[in-house]
Amino acid sequence: MSFFCGTRMHANFAAIYTNVPVFGLAYSYKYAGAFEANGLSADQTYLINNFDEFKIDVVIKKMMTFILIIANKILIYD
């Protein structure tokens, strides 16, 4: 798997523990701390509580920024 985006905490942990780049759609503030505790950035999460159609662009932009960062790291290190 080259990328994972999930809403369930333990599914995200599975990606983290298998070194799959992950973006968490968080239902709890705990995601940021869990990601940071595992050496990742809280910027790899987005809190989706009270989510509405006006925030879709924000989430997509944040996720795409992360994907581009990962893609550039792969290009640099390969």
Cα separation, 37 vs 35, whole angstroms: 5
Give the tens place of pLDDT for each residue, 31-41: 999 999 999 99
Question: Which sequence spans correspond to the domains of the chain?
Answer: 4-77
pLDDT in tens for each of the 78 residues of the chain?
788 999 999 999 999 999 999 999 999 989 999 999 999 999 899 998 888 888 889 889 998 998 888 877 766 655
pLDDT at 69 (0 to 100): 85
CB 21 within 8 A of CB 4: yes
